[in-house]
Structure 1
Amino acid sequence: MTQNENSPTSFQGLEPRDILCADKIVELEKVDKSCNQESWCVAWAPDCSYIAWSQGGGIVYLLPWAPDQGQLLKKPTRDQSHENLSEIEESAFIDNLPRLSPADDTENEDDFSWNENPGPSCQQHKMEAQRFRIDCMDYVWSMTFGSGVSRSNCNVRRRFSFNSDLILLTGLQGGKIKVWNVYTGNLIMELLDHKSNVHGLTVMCNGSLKLASCSADCTIKCWDLNNDGNMYKTLRFKENVMVFDCKYSPTCKQLAAVGMNKCAYVWNLSNLNSPRKLTGHLHNVVHCDFSPDGALLATASFDTRVILWDPYTGDKIKTLGHMFPSPRPIYAGGANEHYARCVSFSKHGYRIATVADDGYVRVWSLESLSENPVDIAETRKPLCCSYSSNGHVIATGNRAGKIEIIRPQHVEVARLQHMCRMKIRQRVQETQQVDHLHFPFRLKEYLKYKEL
């Protein structure tokens, strides 16, 4: 297939039929048929037991997921037996979800109450894996899950005790951040400091319940949920522009944030006053994600590209294109119809999922990181994507408020040498420290992902 600059395509020298197509295993239509229903975010629980679906219009559905079966679960019966949904039931069961919101009737307060010390009732909810429909009372722009252990041995009195419960955080259009108990569907607390849309949320994975949020008010705020949601730090880009996403690294050593005017920054959490700027994008940078070992940072931009960076040095490792021929800078900085919207690493960091405005979900492989992905799936006007916590499936949301869950044809089986690299980089985190290892030069280059 010949190409020229007058006929840009989505793949380098290939037709879509020449690439393996991923299987769609779940497709749920929006429930509320009103207008302005856009699914801006989907999120997976850390243990892959739940998926949170922001349908649009302030409505979030918490759906239990069976990771061993790769399917949604029906509401379990009293004997706690689990039955899978059939294809016909998948769209119909949503209408019968329990409606939980701060404005619910008081008669249900005893059944769905938040306890500082969860008792048998809370444990029962965990076992039953309830489905919930949550009304956030405002448009939802971002979501994330979190879990941690409260510092119960501290002498300071706190209003909220999270224990080991799973929580869902939602970032809203008005600037609020609402925290929900996944096992009861109850609202736990509200965080109030942002002045506009909360575009991104990220929680440290070490159980400390440190939260970072970014907003259209040009700020990034750091919160301590274990300290009653105390906001202890505010960060800004030097350009003072809108921030679209932020992520803590899996090593809990860095914080990355991206925004308008080609901005991408990485902070070392030991020194939040001197961020490292990543230079290379030609348009707004709208999403970012760390690899599981924290050695790579992926950023998605409206310039049609996803760039893989070394967050410790700022070096550009690899560029994943979504438009061919590659657009010139002046065209990449405008309405090019191939905006890259979202990027997500798999569990072992061996696969990378991206979505773009050309209507494709792409799955890239680190083993063969060529100009084309190893799997694709067609979807209409995608906005977000997220790899499941176990790395088996990918959830996507689109402008119609619909969620689709796809399973790539290529099963993620990471090579032994890649698993060894991940283990080493988790122990030797900074790239500069790799140079001091007593290893051969080629092995050091492999540890720094230079072979990509």
Structure 2
Amino acid sequence: MGPGGGRREFEPDTEWGNQMRSRTIGELLAPVAPFDKKCGHENWTVAFAPDGSYFAWSQGHRTVKLVPWSQCLKNFLLHGTKNITNSSNSRLSRQNSDGVSKNRPCEHVIDCGDIVWSLAFGSSVPEKQSRCVNIEWHRFQFGRDQLLLATGLSNGRIKIWDVYTGKLLLNLMDHTEVVRDLTFAPDGSLILVSASRDKTLRVWDLKDDGNMMKVLRGHQNWVYSCSFSPDSAMLCSVGASKAVVAAILV
């Protein structure tokens, strides 16, 4: 209503449609072969590494592509919008404990063994620092620039991978239904939280060989998504029946 009680009308914004359209910089296309029998074009999830070095996306049934993002972006700018990712399963070199510099990272494919519903990158350094340092697990000792990828699968398993080598490090198996979402604490603690259709969230300590620390049961139905607060002290999750649940983890 206007100041005198009359109806106020606004001029239509002819630029609104243009403002709402995002600019496409590129398009990633899954290969037709040799993954045509595995890939049903179910691109359920994508994720960026905390330092922006890698981009991961599920190419369909059981496969995940890891792409060095700067290289991918450069290809977009040089060759147009479409980028058909290389189907070769190349190995990524990493820096060893002697300090020898690693070769330039390259894209490769991880076969997770089941439909991939969720992805999350994790490192031992707070996200705001955007780099990795030396860390030591009970069973594993990594060099500098370590980066992990967690994949949540249809069978309830969570597989943890070394991004640089493609090696499977941990296989977490406590969920009984689809793992819909994964999130790492942003403080670099390597605490991982998973959200599942089994109505629970589970808290994992990857520095302690993937030990499951807690089971959170506040949801009465499927859990769809979860997220940490910036200080890693609180976890918020959403699920079916419009449920929103917050939990303090420290």
TM-score, normalised relative to structure 1: 0.45
Alpha-carbon deviation of 1:221? 0.3
2:5 aligned partner: none
Distance 1:58 1:250, change over 3 A: same
Report the count of equivalent residues. Answer: 225
Residues 382-419 of structure 1: CA deviation (Å, up to 9, x unaligned): xxxxxxxxxxxxxxxxxxxxxxxxxxxxxxxxxxxxxx
Determine if contact 2:24/2:81 at 8 Å carries over to the other structure: no
Distance 1:251 1:262, change over 3 A: same
State the distance in 1 between where 2:177 and 2:236 align.
Answer: 20
Q: Name which of 268, 281, 304 aligns with 2:248.
A: 268
1:55 is paired with a residue whose SS is strand
Query: What is residue 29 of structure 2 aligned with on the other side?
Result: 29
Letter in 2 for 1:205: P
Within 5 A, what are the aligned runs for 1:181-260?
A: 181-237=162-218, 239-260=219-240
Show the counterpart of 2:89.
98
**CA 167–151 in structure 1, closer or farther in 2 if over 3 Å, else same:** closer
Taking a change above 3 Å as real, the CA distance of residues 73 and 230 of structure 1, as seen in their structure-2 partners, is: farther
Instruction: Find the aligned partners of 1:138 and 1:89 in 2 and give their Cα distance.
Output: 27
Q: Identity across aligned pairs (percent)?
A: 38
Do the aligned partners of 1:63 and 1:72 also contact (CA within 8 Å) in 2? no
* Contact in 2 for aligned 1:161/1:226 (Cα 8 Å): no
What is the deviation of 1:162?
Answer: 4.3
Distance in 1 (CA, whole Å) between partners of 2:179 and 2:13 is: 39
Query: Offset at 1:19?
Result: 2.9
Q: Shift of the alpha carbon at 1:219? A: 0.8
Matches within 5 A, 1:58-137: 58-66=62-70, 71-72=73-74, 86-87=79-80, 90-91=83-84, 94-98=85-89, 118-120=97-99, 123-125=101-103, 128-137=104-113
1:189 deviates by 1.5
How far apart are the structure 1 equivalents of 2:157 and 2:140? Answer: 18
Which consecutive residues of structure 1, in runs of 5 or more, have no partner in the other structure?
Answer: 1-12, 75-83, 101-110, 271-452
Displacement of 1:208: 0.8
For 1:209 and 1:185, locate their aligned partners in 2 and report how far apart those are by CA, in whole Å: 18
Shift of 1:176: 1.0
How big is the shift at 1:159? 0.9
Alpha-carbon shift at residue 120 of structure 1 (Å): 5.0
- Range that drifts further, 30-39 or 213-222: 30-39
1:73 Cα deviation (Å)?
5.5
Q: How much does 1:96 deviate?
A: 4.3
Q: After the TM superposition, which parts of structure 1 deviate over 6 Å for at least 4 consecutive aligned residues?
A: 13-17
Secondary structure of 2:102's match?
Answer: helix
